[in-house]
Amino acid sequence: MFDDGPLLLHLIGFLPVGAALLATARLVFGRRASHGDDSMRRGMAIAGWALIHLGVLGLLSLPGGGALTLWLVYLVIVVMAVHRHRQNERRSLVAMLAVCSARGIPLEQAARAFAAERDDDAGLRAARLAEALERGAPLPDALRFARSRLPLDAHLAAGVGWRVGALGAALGTAVDFREEFDLHLRAGIEKFIYLCWVAAVGVMLATFIMIKIVPVYSAMFMEFDLELPGFTIALIDVSAAFINTWFLYAPLVYSIVALALLTPFYYVGWLTWEPPLVRRLWRGVHTAWILQSLAVVVRRGRPIAEGLQLLAASYPRDYVAARLYSAFAAVENGEDWRRALQTQGLIRPTDAAVLLSGERAGNLAWTLEELAEGRLRRMSYRLRAAVSVLFPCIVLIVAAPVFFFAVGLFLPLIQLIRGLAPETAACIFVFS
């Protein structure tokens, strides 16, 4: 598909250079604790890994064409693997902060000890977190200063828990809540990314075949005056229609390729914008986080109105924060807080009825926690069921065009061989 050329082979020389640069950084700086001013070490590490990845592009060009496509797939796999590793490190940091806060250990000492154990990106951000905490910054501000890409619920728990004095309980609950849900969510997102890339590569290959291969194929068989099978005739007609009306299909092709290129950035958290459909599907998760945060507020004996105000100020998604501000304003004007949340679409009528029963029974905090846990559990089950059912169906749908192209291009070869067989036998007889 791509004319890689001999130029890519020269990139193999970057492999030993990148490895030498990484080894030099390790020898010069050693495995000392991470610090916020280690720009030289970070620069050497980034340059070394960049050279290694370019060298891999040269290695992929050895078998033949398609090196750029394989290299993009390789980069996606590397990004996802690195993101999973760093996500586990961030969870470890959140769990450590929860334990230290519950036991009264200063958070700056905990963050400094966490940074002293590693010299990677997680250690660097933990060192920045410790520096901010030592200067007296609140934990939410320190997390923003350290640019810690913690999960959204961890940021929310840190903001609410810090302000109500229940940081350990809030962070601990966030860690426990997300474990099972992340398992199903990550599996679903990874399969979705896989399908997006399969669809993007398939669309590019199909476009190349219909523009370059099928017209030559058709002209070749017309010269032999062979009757083409129905699959091949249909493929030729589809290709001709695509070539004549390419401007109608170009936006679809570009959209599929752009979606495949953007999915890794969403996966690692570099892009946070959520389209309306994603917001609709994600509403149940936001409801669970809101209910769990309100449970922390209620257990500390704070009023619900104050909890809504804290949630609105701390929530990491602006469109949800706007709904929370509207609910808080309604509660300040005398409206029931359950009714206010229901009006903003943050809870359902059944949730409001259960919360009313829990408040009358004196178990509002427990009711909030159970509703939040049940909401996440149902989301996990639905996500797992959707992935189990839809993934094979989508794979079959994607495989249908592959079957169409393969059969349409292969069947004429059989007829060509059969048509040329008598002439080939006659030539062999003459020469013998």
Structural domain boundaries, residue 46: 6-150
**Please, are residues 256 and 200 in contact by the beta-carbon 8 Å criterion?**
yes
> What digits encode the pLDDT tens for the residues 154-210?
878 888 888 888 888 788 777 666 665 666 677 777 788 888 888 888 888 888 888
User: Is residue 103 assigned to a domain?
Assistant: yes
pLDDT at 431 over 70: no
Distance CA 233, CA 418 (A): 19
Give me the pLDDT at residue 427, please: 45
User: Is residue 19 assigned to a domain?
Assistant: yes
Distance CA 74, CA 387 (A): 24
Please name the residues in contact with 285: beta carbons below 8 A apart, sequence gap of 6 or more.
Answer: 181, 375, 376, 379
User: Is residue 118 assigned to a domain?
Assistant: yes
Angle at 270 between CA 81 and CA 49, to 5 degrees: 45
Give me the pLDDT at residue 54, please: 81
User: Is residue 62 assigned to a domain?
Assistant: yes
Please name the residues in contact with 37: beta carbons below 8 A apart, sequence gap of 6 or more.
Answer: none
**Please, are residues 193 and 264 in contact by the beta-carbon 8 Å criterion?**
yes
pLDDT at 428 over 50: no
Of the candidates 215, 229, 136, 192, the one whose C-alpha atom is nearest the C-alpha of residue 398 is: 192
Radius of gyration of the chain (CA): 29
Give mean pLDDT, residues 239-266.
Answer: 82
User: Is residue 364 assigned to a domain?
Assistant: no
User: Is residue 57 assigned to a domain?
Assistant: yes
b (16+ CB within 10 A) / e for 85-101: ebbebbbbbbbbbbebb
pLDDT at 326 over 90: yes
User: Is residue 301 assigned to a domain?
Assistant: no
Please name the residues in contact with 402: beta carbons below 8 A apart, sequence gap of 6 or more.
Answer: 202
Give me the pLDDT at residue 184, please: 66
Q: How confident is the model at residue 432 (pLDDT cuts 50, 70, 90)?
A: very low
Give me the pLDDT at residue 421, please: 57
pLDDT at 33 over 60: no
**Please, are residues 69 and 2 in contact by the beta-carbon 8 Å criterion?**
yes
Q: How confident is the model at residue 8 (pLDDT cuts 50, 70, 90)?
A: low
Amino acid at 12: I
Give me the pLDDT at residue 424, please: 47
**Token pair 């291969």: residue:** 213
Distance CA 83, CA 77 (A): 10
b (16+ CB within 10 A) / e for 280-306: eeebebbbbbbbbbbbbbbbbebebbe
Tally of domains within the chain: 1
Could you tell me what percent of the chain has a pLDDT over 70?
A: 86
Give me the pLDDT at residue 9, please: 66
pLDDT at 3 over 60: no
Please name the residues in contact with 231: beta carbons below 8 A apart, sequence gap of 6 or more.
Answer: 404, 407, 408, 411
Distance CA 56, CA 253 (A): 28
Could you tell me what percent of the chain has a pLDDT over 90?
A: 7
User: Is residue 358 assigned to a domain?
Assistant: no
Query: What is the chain's mean pLDDT, rounded?
Result: 79
Tokens of 428: 């062999």
**Please, are residues 109 and 87 in contact by the beta-carbon 8 Å criterion?**
no
Q: In this predicted model, which residue has the larger pLDDT, 226 or 348?
A: 348
